[in-house]
Amino acid sequence: MSDKFDVIVIGAGPGGYVAAIRAAQLGLKTACVEKWVDDKGAPVLGGTCLNVGCIPSKALLESTHQFHKTQHADVHGIQTGDISMDVKQMVARKDKIVSNLTMGVAGLFKANGVTLIQGMGKLLANKQVQVTAADGSATVYAAENVILASGSVPVEIPPAPLTEGLILDNEGALNIDETPKRLGVIGAGVIGLEMGSVWARLGTEVTVLEAMDEFLGVADKDVAKEAAKIFKKQNLDIKLGARCTGTEINGQEVTLKYTDAEGDKELVVDKLIVAVGRRPLTKGLLADDSGVKLDERGFIFVDGQCRTEAPGVYAVGDSVRGPMLAHKASEEGIMVADIIAGHHAQMNYDVIPSIIYTHPELAWVGKTEQELKAAGVAIKVGKFPFAASGRAMAADDTDGFVKMIADEATDRILGVHIVGGMASELIAQAAIALEFGSTAEDLQLTVFAHPTVSEVIHEAALAVDGHAIHMANRKKR
């Protein structure tokens, strides 16, 4: 193997592996360095997302959603009797999906001619990359361009140190293999709500402690309010303004000490998940003279097109500013590969959908009503409930709504916020509308097939001007 590449990517998560495939597709001689190995020493590709993030969590969410639906199948006249969940099989199914996908990435590397280099990558001066293999041997490779895609790791908090089998991060949380009676979660963010939902559906008493006084501060307030109402009915006990002050292990139990507005409290649980956010992973990645700088929060400093301070060195994904989302990482990877190949490329950071895969799902794209009002933008808002959709009724899935926000003066759609059973799929329609600069009228004039859940998007667009058909509008024009 020649030791010189057009592109060396460090990290094979959704940022890195996608960048490597795109670069190779564009005719660039590309290598991807990955340090993750399994217990047999074989390379593990796909990063956090495929191995301990997006995919395994969605596999468990799907299994437990199916369980919940089966439990409530009597609404359709289906008599099931008592049903039970084989948690070990659910986890084994999740593991199979993960291994299929990570092997798939290896296959894609092969098919596209990406060279996989196993080991810990470190960027030296002048775009040289040192790779240290498991046996400690180091090789230095040279590249015309380097893409850093080292991802992120969970934030740990001193009052709740990880403890094998009892106090868990996202990785441990995905491998719980029997239904705990009581589960504690620190952090009512995305992981807390998704993993809390998995176990609440199987009958676990779930208590979520959230340090902030406001629930889901990142979401539009209407979405957060509706979600809080629904999660309460699902036995997710979310305690706001609650700060963990310490933990104590007693045999197979964890005593969680916390303080809230009422004072000091304790809660005994069988498992505790810590999900208080993630931080960029840059440990051992950069030599002192690499020329790459970190920002004040420890992220790799990049410009709007992911260029670092070192010429020819780019960084993408969770290790740089912006939302920590797989699709954001991948799109940055594609943009950077295109730029390296000499194409014009730009990513639209204003249109990145966010989804929380609870049931109903929460999904949004663009600006919230609160952000737009704070910026002094005059807006009009259309809202339509799933309860008025015939297809949602047929599916017995009528919780939630679509809220569409358009500019009062130009009619351009500025944000779409959904609580609903299929929100993760519906939000793509909104993302396309925002990306194409659609007005609410554009969607009003689009023919949506009947009966589909998507009609709720159509009706929300009509509601922006007070013209929804299948509900009484508040205002008429």
Judged by CB under 6 A, the stretch of 29-37, 245-253, 362-370, 371-379 that binds ligand FAD is 29-37
Q: Which of 210, 220, 226, 318 binds ligand FAD (CB under 6 A)?
A: 318
Q: 3-state SS of 49-85? A: HHHHCHHHHHHHHHHHHHHHHHHCHHHHCCCCCCCCC
Which residue minimizes CB distance to ligand NAD? 189
Enumerate binding residues for ligand NAD (CB under 6 A).
Answer: 157, 186-192, 194, 209-212, 243-244, 275-278, 323-325, 355-357
Least Å distance between CB 469 and ligand NAD?
Answer: 33
Task: Give 423-428 contacts, CB < 8 A, sequence gap 24+.
Answer: 423/355, 423/360, 423/361, 423/362, 423/363, 424/355, 424/357, 424/361, 424/363, 426/363, 426/402, 426/453, 426/454, 426/456, 426/457, 427/353, 427/355, 427/363, 427/364, 427/365, 428/353
For the record, the structure tokens of 2 come out as 């020649």
Catalytic residue among 344, 359, 417, 450: 450
Using rule CB under 6 A, residue 317 touches ligand FAD = yes
351 contact, one of ligand FAD, ligand NAD, none, CB 5-8 Å limit per kind? none
Q: Which of 7, 30, 34, 202 binds ligand FAD (CB under 6 A)?
A: 34
Count other Cβ atoms within 10 Å, centred on residue 140: 11
Least Å distance between CB 299 and ligand NAD?
Answer: 12
State the Rg of the chain over Cα.
24
Q: In the complex with ligand FAD, which residue's Cβ is closer, 285 or 456?
A: 285
Sites for ligand FAD among residues 190-249 (CB under 6 A): 191
Using rule CB under 6 A, residue 120 touches ligand FAD = yes
Q: Is 467 a catalytic residue?
A: no
Least Å distance between CB 13 and ligand FAD?
Answer: 2
Using rule CB under 6 A, residue 98 touches ligand FAD = no
Using rule CB under 6 A, residue 414 touches ligand FAD = no
Q: Which of 7, 9, 12, 363 binds ligand FAD (CB under 6 A)?
A: 12
Q: Which parts of this chain interact with ligand FAD (CB under 6 A)?
A: 10-16, 33-36, 47-49, 53-54, 57, 120-121, 149-152, 170, 191, 281, 284-285, 317-318, 324-327, 329
Q: Could you give the residue numbers annotated as active site?
A: 450
